[in-house]
Amino acid sequence: MALGTFDRDDNIALLGAGTYDVLVIGGGITGAGVALDAASRGLRTALVERDDFASGTSSKSSKLVHGGLRYLQNGDVRLVYEALRERQRLLRNAPHLVKVLPFLIPVFTGRGGIIPKQVARALGSAMWMYDLTGGLRIGKVHRRLRADAARAHMPTLGDRLAWAYLYYDAQTDDARLTLAIARTAALDHGATVVNHAAVTGLLRSPGGRVAGAVVDTGAAGGPVEVRARAVVNATGVWADDVRALDEGSHPHTIRPAKGIHITVPWDKVRNDIAAVVPVPKDRRSVFVVPWPGDDGTVGGPGSVTYVGTTDTDYDGDVDDPQCTPDDIAYLLDALNHSLTEPLAPSDVLATWAGLRPLVSDATSSRTADLSRRHRVTVSDSGMVTVTGGKLTTYREMAEHTVDAAVGVVGDALPRRAGRSRTRKLPLRGAEGWDEARLADPHLAERYGGEAPVVEAMVASDPSLGEPLIPGLPYRRAEALYAVRYEMATTLDDVLARRTRARLRNRDATAAAADDVAALVGAELGWSEATCAAEVAAYREAARRERQVPGLPEVAALAGGA
């Protein structure tokens, strides 16, 4: 039985009543993880998110739950070990959302047809290191494949392919994983969780300690004062802004690094597994990842492939990172260097740009060299800030952060708060996933054991089984489910994060915006004017996302094979 509620109004009503043990600011994967860790220890917990859950970096990642082969090259063995341990926990705690994914590393012949021995040797050592550091836990070790066996997975690799390595990592839906963690915190452990609720100031105790925050939910009655014994700042690239509310000046500890992805039609790449392809004239590589279509299988109708990422220093507006023409050219060059059939900007169906909240390090000139480790700090007035890290390691970051918060509050917290319980804690949807996937793989991979609720909606109104956007693998029922059970309150919440339609085909979602607004607006009680404003805002954001990098409008919808 549910302990808490995921209804936004009900949660807002709870915010102002009584004192929380822990108030978490920021609803990305880090803040959601902290809220779940705290609530599952039995602490009275609240989480407030300024925009939507995962609307910051946590919906714009490469969506890999991985150790990161690259970090081994930087000698960061411990980071890889810890990440692979967390990968294993996630595969067990969220089997519906985190899947094992095989990866190819193609090795091409050089101009003279020979691969330098040291390249082959270095790659082989890295593969063994990865297995030994924890890759093995997945139950499979890497293999070397002949060129024809590798091309069977990705026929577009062409004749220059000499051989390839095959290894294993895992893939997730970053925004839905974040949402599942927030819902688990609320529904199973009683946390109060509110999106579209910004912290605009901090409350202080008479002794000057941080004792809560002023939160603007947009509700009539104005901002709410939320009291808490410990306040955690988990706001990613905005962490310094929130620290400035506490410390009075901007500490400049975060060095944002931009990373972008592009989505292309699957049938232009035809990869049934992921690949890591080298970037010419750079010591980086990019991921080429298939995204399954309608029936949950790669290559089925609606399948796409996404490619990323870049890694560049960013000093623009952190609220509005955009892809540039150079970013698009970088990824298309890398792809076209490895593929036989070149892709052009007109093949780009969608893009997304995110900012890594890297912890600043004055000695490093490239953001790609900065550590992905996290840092937990406590200010003089007791505010706990967590920065850095990766999607993959969110649970461990959360554990360390709540340990620090418990340390701040000390004896005022209940005894049971001592130890994290999340290592073996299943996320919402894990239970019943096995049965659900037999009934409907597409729904099961998104909702796990909660898929029958969506199926029941379709059973009572078959029109809700129709596609939400023509050509994309989402049903109309999913938009209503997002509003009723997942706290979606805007068109973008539904199209970019509850479904990932905007990341698959941006222009198709803009074209269908009126229809989707009418569907969800009826549920949310939108007036005609609100519907029109939502559609206009969504279309404007989609137009900018296409125009800033100079991409043409996508004429046809992406089809699968």
Ligand X SMILES: Cc1cc2nc3c(=O)[nH]c(=O)nc-3n(C[C@H](O)[C@H](O)[C@H](O)COP(=O)(O)OP(=O)(O)OC[C@H]3O[C@@H](n4cnc5c(N)ncnc54)[C@H](O)[C@@H]3O)c2cc1C
> Interface residues with ligand X (CB under 6 A)?
25-31, 48-51, 54-58, 60-64, 66, 198-199, 234-238, 242, 259, 309, 354-357, 389-392
User: Closer to ligand X at the Cβ: 57 or 489?
Assistant: 57
Structure-block tokens of residue 421: 């319980």
Contacts 24+ apart (CB under 8 A), 84-87: 84/133, 84/134, 84/135, 84/137, 85/134, 85/137, 86/392, 86/393, 86/394, 86/395, 86/396, 87/134, 87/137, 87/138, 87/169, 87/170, 87/392
Q: What H or E segment, with its residue span, contains residue 55?
A: none
Closest to ligand X by CB, 392 vs 476, is 392
Q: Residue 175 corresponds to which amino acid?
A: A
What residues pair up with 102 in beta bridges, in sequence order?
Answer: 168
Terminal C-alpha separation, the chain: 43
Cβ at position 275, least distance to ligand X in Å: 15
**CA dist., res. 87 & res. 104, Å (int):** 19
Separation between Cα atoms, residue 164 and residue 115, nearest integer Å = 12
Cα–Cα distance between 246 and 117 in angstroms, integer? 55
CA dist 239 and 24 (Å) reads 12
- Asked if 559 and 470 touch (Cβ cutoff 8 Å), the reply is no
Instruction: Kindly give, in sequence order, each residue whose CB lies less than 8 Å from that of residue 438, ignoring residues fewer than 6 positions away.
Output: none
**CB hemisphere CA count around 507 (13 angstroms):** 16
Whole-number minimum distance, CB 374 to ligand X, in Å? 8
Residue 355 or residue 472: which is nearer to ligand X going by CB?
A: 355
Q: Whole-number minimum distance, CB 530 to ligand X, in Å?
A: 22
Of 303 and 392, the one with the shorter C-beta distance to ligand X is 392
Residue 475 pairs with which residues in a beta bridge? 467
Shortest distance, position 333 Cβ to ligand X, whole Å: 18
Residue 87 beta carbon to ligand X: minimum distance, rounded to whole angstroms? 9
Kindly tell me which of 30 and 509 has the beta carbon lying closer to ligand X.
30
Query: Cα(152)–Cα(460) distance, rounded to whole angstroms?
Result: 43
Decide whether 109 or 360 has the Cβ nearer to ligand X: 360
Residue type, 203: L
Shortest Å, Cβ 541 to ligand X = 15
Nearer to ligand X, 352 or 538 (CB): 352
By beta-carbon proximity to ligand X, the closer residue of 109 and 371 is 371
Shortest CB 61 distance to ligand X, Å? 3
3-state secondary structure of 233: strand
CA-based R_g, the chain, Å? 23
Q: Which is nearer to ligand X, 229 or 374 (CB)?
A: 374
> What gap in Å lies between CA 236 and CA 138, rounded to an integer?
30
Q: How far is the CB of 265 from ligand X (least distance, A)?
A: 21
Nearer residue to ligand X within complex by CB, 79 or 157 = 79
Distance of closest approach, residue 311 Cβ to ligand X, in angstroms: 8
Q: Taking the complex as a whole, how short is the minimal distance between the CB of residue 276 and ligand X, in angstroms?
A: 12
Q: Which residues are CB-contacts of 90 (< 8 A; sequence separation ≥ 6)?
A: 65, 98, 170, 172, 392, 395
